[in-house]
Chains A and B, each alone.
Chain A
Amino acid sequence: MSLVARFKCPICNADVTVAITPELLKHAAERGAVRTLARCPRGHAAVLTIDQYGYIRSALPVYEQTKPDCEITEKAPVSIRAKLTTILEKGPATDADLLLLEKAKAAGWVICV
């Protein structure tokens, strides 16, 4: 069972939870601190510096160059369109949003270039 630590996404300020594994703590203990990449629910990337106690010392933003261009197809049902529109415009806010987007792509409701 992993420990859990929280940080604010340095790009959108969303609350993010990350699992701090025993391996990560071991590496941090050996080196003083360890760096790892984490993503917020909206998909923004951040480099975390974690100390040997599992405390997140810093979360630095990673700005990525491209974002996939997606659109909702006519097949998408009315009940889910509004949600999909929000997810595509603002990025997935929760894990459930992210899963819904993936399933919607598989169902042909969303197409990404």
Chain B
Amino acid sequence: MKEVIDNWGLFLVARELSKMIGGSKGLRLFMQYERYKLAVAVQAALECGADCKKPPNEVIALLFDVARRRGVLKGCQPVHVPEPKEPPPQIMTEYFQLIDDVVVNKMCEYVAKPPSDVISEEEALAYYQAFVSAPYYVAFRRAMYNKLAKLYKYSTILDVGAGTQDPLDILAVCEMHNAKCELTALEVDGRLCSDLERLASKHGFNVACGWEQVGKYDIAVVQNILHWATDPVQVLANTRMHARNMFLSQGVIEGSGAVFILTKILGAVRSLSWKEVETLARQAGWKVARRYAKYPDYIALFR
């Protein structure tokens, strides 16, 4: 019951996603596979010699932390999690293959060396592109922007740390409601910015390749970027200077799964709890106007 109250907004989003994932049965299978993949990754790390009391690096430390939170590791003892008998929901097949490719199958290598020596920068970018544009993630973001953020009600929108897929999802939601949203996508990563500029000329939105090019907006969207940012408070403070409202969505450590290890391997610099996310926003001068969910995704509107 507590989980329902804490995360009521996610249930609204989930209702839209429910059909795609196969209803409650599909959701249950998804959770079972999440736990199973985590257990396999933990088993692999331990078999390859990772010390669970002194993890060799941040990736393995995070794996053990997430595994303990999910009850897959008790102290240093792995818990046996049986492989689900049925296949995962169709729409999630690609996701679990990605977890196998990036997390599970390379776990022994991560025990021995840092992720940057296992996955090249070019590969990380390709994995990132596949991940952010995968149908399940696109569906999640669109449902969130439509049902919770209601972005179509705002005329000027700033997409902070936009990446290559988020602006297209925001525009899709505006288009769904025949709303004229003037969108500016901000991206400080030079490699992604050149991709964004190409997309922008085709889809009719603006691009800012740094904060100095950003104006004033009705709302800013900050979607899953705080774990990539070297100074998240500064990002949120900058956002405050440029937007009246902020819709913040951030995957948090509570209830997280293998996806956390995936993003860590691809270059995420930190993992946050929902309280930490809210504290960061407060430190940047924001006030919670409405909180939709605490975990595994913290989602709230700030003013």
In this assembly, does A17 line the interface, its C-beta being within 8 Å of a C-beta of chain B? yes
| A-B interface pairs (CB < 8 A), number | 75
In the complex the two chains form, is B204's CB within 8 Å of A19's CB? yes
A interface footprint on B161-174 (CB within 8 Å = 1, 0 otherwise): 00011001000000
Q: Complex: how many Å from CA A83 to CA B101?
A: 15
A interface footprint on B23-64 (CB within 8 Å = 1, 0 otherwise): 000000000000000000000000000000000000000000
Determine the chain B residues whose CB is within 8 A of the CB of A83 once the complex forms.
94, 130
In the complex the two chains form, is A78's CB within 8 Å of B122's CB? no
In the complex the two chains form, is B129's CB within 8 Å of A95's CB? no
In the complex the two chains form, is A106's CB within 8 Å of B202's CB? no
In the complex the two chains form, is B204's CB within 8 Å of A96's CB? no
In the complex the two chains form, is A78's CB within 8 Å of B101's CB? yes
Determine the chain B residues whose CB is within 8 A of the CB of A95 once the complex forms.
164, 168, 199, 202-203
In the complex the two chains form, is B168's CB within 8 Å of A96's CB? yes
User: Ordered nearest first, which 3 A-B pairs have the shortest CB separation?
Assistant: A79-B97, A96-B133, A103-B126
- Within 183-217 of B, Cβ neighbours of A (below 8 Å) are at 195, 199, 201-206
Determine the chain A residues whose CB is within 8 A of the CB of B100 once the complex forms.
78-79
Neighbour of A2 across the interface among B165, B195, B199, B204, CB < 8 A: B204
Determine the chain A residues whose CB is within 8 A of the CB of B126 once the complex forms.
80, 100, 103-104, 106-107, 109
In the complex the two chains form, is B202's CB within 8 Å of A96's CB? no
In the complex the two chains form, is A103's CB within 8 Å of B94's CB? no
Residue count of chain B within 8 Å CB distance of chain A: 28
In the complex the two chains form, is B203's CB within 8 Å of A103's CB? no
In this assembly, does B98 line the interface, its C-beta being within 8 Å of a C-beta of chain A? yes
In the complex the two chains form, is B122's CB within 8 Å of A108's CB? yes
Q: Complex: how many Å from CA A107 to CA B266?
A: 14
In this assembly, does B182 line the interface, its C-beta being within 8 Å of a C-beta of chain A? yes
Question: Which residues of chain A have a CB within 8 Å of any CB of chain B?
Answer: 1-4, 17-19, 77-80, 82-83, 94-97, 99-100, 103-104, 106-109
Determine the chain B residues whose CB is within 8 A of the CB of A17 once the complex forms.
202-204
In this assembly, does B79 line the interface, its C-beta being within 8 Å of a C-beta of chain A? no
What is the CB-to-nearest-CB distance from A100 to chain B, in angstroms, rounded to a whole number? 5
Determine the chain B residues whose CB is within 8 A of the CB of A78 once the complex forms.
97, 100-101
In this assembly, does B108 line the interface, its C-beta being within 8 Å of a C-beta of chain A? no
Which partner residue on chain B sits nearest A100 by CB separation? B129
Q: List 22 A-B contacts (CB under 8 A).
A: A1-B204, A4-B204, A18-B202, A19-B202, A19-B203, A77-B98, A77-B102, A78-B97, A78-B101, A79-B94, A79-B97, A79-B98, A80-B126, A95-B199, A95-B202, A95-B203, A96-B164, A96-B165, A99-B129, A99-B164, A99-B195, A107-B122
In the complex the two chains form, is B203's CB within 8 Å of A4's CB? yes
Which partner residue on chain A sits nearest B202 by CB separation? A19
In the complex the two chains form, is B125's CB within 8 Å of A19's CB? no
